[in-house]
Structure 1
Amino acid sequence: MKKTRNTVAKTKILNTISDSKIALSHSEIHELLDDFCDRVTIYRVLDRLVDEGLIHKAVTIEGVVKYAACHTCSTDEHHHNHIHFSCEQCHTVICMENVEPVFNMPKQYKVHSVNFTLSGICPQCS
């Protein structure tokens, strides 16, 4: 495994994502960090955290990329075969880790990753 260095920016961004109950977009992370680092640094750190298996991406129905903490992932393998729920009113994205989608693929297809996003109204907005 490739050794990566920990920087203050990486630690702050990872803590921000890990402390959040919802997935966060780049803009939301930038706002929560209160201009601690620039937007480009945040993008670089997010890419690095994904590569290291510490966070994963979820894409909303509108195409916005959100980031959430990983719990059982590594640099070799991500386990995100769970549902992401995107609220149409408050625009939060929540990992539904105890809900796994079921699908049947033809045998000639080899699936490497799954990204399921459901859109609707969350309990707080109902």
Structure 2
Amino acid sequence: MMKELENKLEQKEVRPTAMRLLVLETLQKQKAAVSLQDLEDTFEKADRVTLYRTLKTFQEKGLIHSIEDGTGATKYALCQEGCECAPEDMHVHFFCNSCEDTFCLPKFKIPEVSLPEGFVPMETNLLVKGVCVNCTA
């Protein structure tokens, strides 16, 4: 398992340090996106700055993407295999009003938006709010 994680980091040109391997392993186990605070709670003795830098490195290298879900805390989720988090890979996110988890819905792509001439899009985000399947069960 650790060798698999090391390979994943090396493929993205990220040096596989112990903390990076632990964070990647933790992110792979998540069913929903996590915040920096969530990771801090998971790694009690980890330095907040180190965790933040790890997330930023992962984001810059296309391992994870960030999600603004309206809670005031940026959430992070692993990119799907083969996804480069480019505009054509952008997908819908879902925020559950009940459990407050944020989910990636990679099969549901954000449709292309036509903008007036002279407008240059830099980022697109589509967040749907409601009640997730776990909370409606």
1:121 is aligned to: 131
Q: CA deviation at 1:105?
A: 1.9
Report 1:6-85 matches (<5 A): 6-33=16-43, 35-71=44-80, 72-74=82-84, 78=86, 80-85=89-94
RMSD after superposition:
2.0
Gaps in structure 2 of 5+ consecutive residues:
1-11
> 1 CA distance for matches of 2:53 and 2:79?
18
> 1 CA distance for matches of 2:14 and 2:70?
33
Q: Determine if contact 1:81/1:113 at 8 Å carries over to the other structure.
A: no
Q: Which has the higher helix share?
A: 2
> 1 CA distance for matches of 2:96 and 2:114?
27
| Aligned sequence identity (%) | 30
TM-score for the superposition, normalised by structure 2: 0.78
Q: Determine if contact 2:13/2:61 at 8 Å carries over to the other structure.
A: no
1:43-80 CA distances to partner (integer Å, 9 max, x unpaired)? 11111110111010011122221100012344xx6354
> 1 CA distance for matches of 2:108 and 2:117?
24
Residue 82 of structure 1 aligns to which amino acid in structure 2? H
Gaps in structure 1 of 5+ consecutive residues:
none
Size of the aligned set, in residue pairs, is 122
> 1 CA distance for matches of 2:29 and 2:45?
17
Secondary structure of the residue aligned to 1:98 is strand
Could you tell me which of 94, 97, 105 is aligned with 2:115? 105
> 1 CA distance for matches of 2:16 and 2:86?
21
